[in-house]
Chain A
Amino acid sequence: MTGRLSLDVAIIGGGTAGCAAALHLARRGLSVALFERRTVGSQASGVNFGGVREQGRDFAELPLSRRSRRIWDELPALIGSDGEFMATGHLKLARDEDQMAVLEAFATGAADYGLAVERITGNRLRADYPWLGPKVIGATLCRSDGQANPRIVAPGFGQAARRAGAQVFEHEAVRHATRDAGGFRIETEAGRQVTAATLINVAGAWGATVAGWFGDAVPIAPRSPSMQVTEPLPYRVKVNVGVVGGDVYARQTPRGNVIFGGGQGWNDMATITSRAGETEVMAAMRRLTGILPWAGGAHVIRTWSGIEGFTPDDLPVLGSSVTTPGLLHAFGFSGHGFQLGPAVGEVLAELVLTGRSETPLAPFSIERFGGVLAASA
């Protein structure tokens, strides 16, 4: 496992964004290696809810999200798998008038970005979605949203990157990285010595740690959304369902399993373990039976979680380092990065190749946190 490697680009983290960046850069002929501590898609990219959603996002994220949505349609051509993506629509529910106002405000604003969101209330709501509980008073539907299987998306990008010539090292954590006149020097836990002209930090919940090696300060909180799945039920809920405030969300697979989440679980960054929180699981179940009462008789067969980095404003860090030329960051997706991953990979490749991106990135600048650490290297 030991050896030396000299690269154009080194990537730390095997989530969707890192694998997609590796794919695009390798296709452009650059020498690329990606280092993943476990296996590709082990944390937030691989074990999330599986929502592919533009509705409800911060407007600052919509240009990036719109770009990503186009890629979701092209996945078979891009990576040789559709990731089980289905444009089922995302139905966001309101349980009172205030929540309905939030939905309507988003629908109005989204139109400026070319995103169509329909208002659905009254008889049409009951006719189209007869499985909804009585507490739901209205909803908005974004038909172009959908859902996919997160367990195969990041690995699909990883395999495609490999086929394109990128080296994807799994079970190989990066111990430390520094930069000197010769570029980046990276040492892995396996003892491999790597030099690279460019370093991409897509280390998810650990992104702030990597940024800290170079003095870039980002306040990140590791959280673990609680996820649950039921035994297969008759296939009724064909849209991806959320609520204003996000305290419960659900979707049903064609096989019939209802996947739902809500609340935060437990994690330990030192041992890289996480699990759904028992109290949160129970609260999410009660909320689920509020919006989908017919699921109340189902059995929950499994719960799980992963570790994701959340920023104070729930927007990611995406762009160049403040302190270190050639260092790019993309992390802190705050629980809604799954849909964005494919576009983030493209943006990172653009930044490496041209130094700029066609997608506005100003809201994601690391400078908004204003801090520079004393370099710990």
Chain B
Amino acid sequence: MTAGQDEPIFDLAIVGAGPAGMAAAALAGEIGLSTVVLDEQPSPGGQIYRNVEHAGGVPLPGASREKGAALAAAFRATALDYRPGTGVWHIETHPGEPCRLWLLRDARVGQVRARRVLLATGATERPVPVPGWTLPGVLTVGALQILLKSAGMVPAGPVVLVGNGPLLYLTAVQLAAADTRVAAVLETGAKADLRAALRHLPGFVASGTWRAGLALLREFRALGLPVVRDVSEVTIEGGDRASGVRYRTADGQSGTVPAEVVALHEGVIPASSLARAIGCDLVWDAGQATFRPEIDTWGQSSVAAVQIVGDSAGIAGAEAAPLAGRIAVLEAARAVGRLTEAERDRRAAPFGRALSSLLRGRPFIDRLYPPRLARSPLADPVVVCRCEEVTAGAVRAALASGASGPNQIKAFLRCGMGPCQGRFCAPTVTRLIAEARGVPEAEVGSFRLRPPVKPIPLAAFAAAMEEDAP
């Protein structure tokens, strides 16, 4: 299990079986690359097409059930080494050697080797640190959806949705379908956002993605829920659990709604833990207000053997992801000598045209639903790092006493050293440093990540070692 010299070396390892991973794998199989697909979910689809192979699965916005099912069917029809229920917690890359991917499956550690790695790890919800966000009863809409889907766990008390973006509307619609009426929707969008977005309307219209969005919006409006627009200064109130949400409206009035469940959402950001742990260079994406891996048009990262596609390389949505996945696979095939450069270019051209068209629709969405609460000024008592319970004030104090960057904040305060390795606090820490030093976030950078990118049970290693013993 450790040395594995006689184990096969795959041409390509794909991490993630969402739209990007499924499409990439199907094409890799067609070209004849020996391919292993590693995915945490029990079945293909990723987050957006979760359970798409089974009736009753609810697809997310920007996606159509048929497209997801078609991707899954093509994926299933391809001869691949598909390993569901398998997490990847570390990837070793040494120049000139095959990559070694470290796995966790059924509480056992394992590994595979591959000449190329394609990361298609999708997106994660943007953390929204407002006062009270760590109280019991407060979660993200993504977590609320998972609760809904698992054996009809419907919230008992009043539910308040806070934030913006299509996922917020969809969650309200899904809750209504489960006979849970949302008590209030507090939208953080401003009129200025609509004006900023309108300049990008032609691209959005041309991209064709407006159809699904409009249908969702109509469905949401038809519910007739109480919606408060343009809210700011949101505080979640409560003693040992959430009891209400206080907010300020555009005309300066303050309001309060009772709530037992508060779901926060201000869009998604790339799930880039593996890319960071490998050491792929990141770049600040001002339009999406997040770091993302730096890639070229082939999905090539700064690490020679590693390509990154789909939302994990920058949020572009479920329609764009399969195209990016296919384009990247063509380059991987060239890199391992399976396609000539001319063949790669010829086959990639139609995917590239379709992708460009889709990407023209993205700035409209980005401007219409910018992170507002997630980018608001943070009061000192607000918890930044949930794992180690570090406040904004503590981060500011460390900065005042000489800490210069994210990794020093981590060293001094243990902020970002907990089980999530900074997934919840990294964007906030970068922002606090940028504010304190008066420099752009791009210049501040973000935490280094250390393997494992997810907690691994000690016993899983011990089991692996015993199998290995002579």
Contacts and interface: CB of A to CB of B under 8 A. Distances in A.
Interface of A: 39, 41, 46, 151-152, 155, 158-159, 162, 170, 229-231, 273, 275-276, 278-279, 281-283, 285-286, 288-289, 295-304
B417 interface: yes
Contact of B457 (A41, A276, A283, A299): A299
Nearest to B100: A278
A158 B102 CA distance: 38
A130 B450 CA distance: 32
B109 interface: yes
A300 B452 contact: yes
Interface stretch (B5-13, B14-22, B232-240, B458-466): B458-466
A299 B419 contact: yes
| Residue of B404, B417, B456, B466 ringed by the most chain A CB atoms within 10 A | B456
Contacts of A296: 458-459, 462
B464 A282 contact: yes
Contacts of A41: 411
4 closest A-B pairs (Cβ-Cβ)? A299-B455, A151-B411, A285-B461, A282-B461
Given A39-B408, A170-B404, A301-B418, A282 B465 contact: yes
| Residue of B2, B458, B459 ringed by the most chain A CB atoms within 10 A | B458
Nearest to B457: A299
Contact of A302 (B404, B421, B458, B459): B421
Contact of A286 (B102, B450, B465): B465
B92 interface: yes
Given A285-B461, A285-B462, A299-B455, A159 B401 contact: yes
B412 A152 contact: yes
Nearest to B89: A300
A301 B455 contact: yes
Given A278-B92, A289-B462, A152 B455 contact: no
Given A278-B92, A300-B455, A39 B405 contact: yes
Contacts of A300: 452, 455-458, 461
Contacts of A289: 458-459, 462
8 contacts: A39-B407, A230-B458, A231-B418, A278-B102, A281-B461, A289-B458, A295-B458, A300-B457
Given A231-B455, A295-B458, 19 more contacts: A39-B408, A46-B411, A155-B402, A170-B404, A273-B279, A275-B451, A278-B90, A278-B100, A285-B461, A285-B462, A285-B465, A289-B458, A296-B458, A297-B458, A301-B418, A301-B419, A302-B417, A302-B421, A303-B451
B421 A301 contact: yes
Interface of B: 2, 90, 92, 100, 102, 109, 279, 401-402, 404-405, 407-408, 411-412, 417-419, 421, 450-452, 455-459, 461-462, 464-466
A302 B419 CA distance: 8
Contacts of A273: 279
A304 to B, nearest CB: 5
B450 A299 contact: no
| Residue of A283, A289, A300 ringed by the most chain B CB atoms within 10 A | A300
Given A41-B411, A170-B404, A286-B462, A302 B450 contact: yes
Nearest to A258: B458
| Residue of B408, B411, B417, B459 ringed by the most chain A CB atoms within 10 A | B411
A231 B420 CA distance: 10
Nearest to A260: B458
B109 A301 contact: no
Nearest to B419: A301
Contacts of B407: 39
A275 B464 contact: no
Nearest to B388: A255
Contacts of A276: 450-451
A356 to B, nearest CB: 34
| Residue of A158, A298, A301 ringed by the most chain B CB atoms within 10 A | A301
A300 to B, nearest CB: 5
Contacts of B450: 275-276, 302-304
A303 B109 contact: no
A340 to B, nearest CB: 21
Contacts of B456: 299-300
Contacts of A295: 458
A295 B405 CA distance: 33
Contacts of A304: 450
B452 A285 contact: no
A279 B2 contact: yes
A188 B260 CA distance: 59
Contacts of B405: 39
| Residue of B407, B408, B459, B461 ringed by the most chain A CB atoms within 10 A | B461
Contacts of A303: 450-452
Contacts of B458: 230, 285, 288-289, 295-300
A170 B408 CA distance: 12
A46 B410 CA distance: 12
Contacts of A288: 458
A282 B417 contact: no
Nearest to B459: A296
A43 B450 CA distance: 15
B412 A155 contact: yes
Contacts of A159: 401-402
A200 B419 CA distance: 40
A152 B279 CA distance: 25
Contacts of B418: 231, 301
A282 B109 contact: yes
Given A296-B462, A303-B451, A39 B404 contact: yes
Contacts of A162: 402
Contacts of A151: 411-412
Contacts of B459: 289, 296-297
B381 to A, nearest CB: 20
A54 B464 CA distance: 35
Contacts of B412: 151-152, 155
Nearest to B2: A279
Contacts of A158: 402
A297 B418 CA distance: 17
Nearest to B468: A282
A43 to B, nearest CB: 12
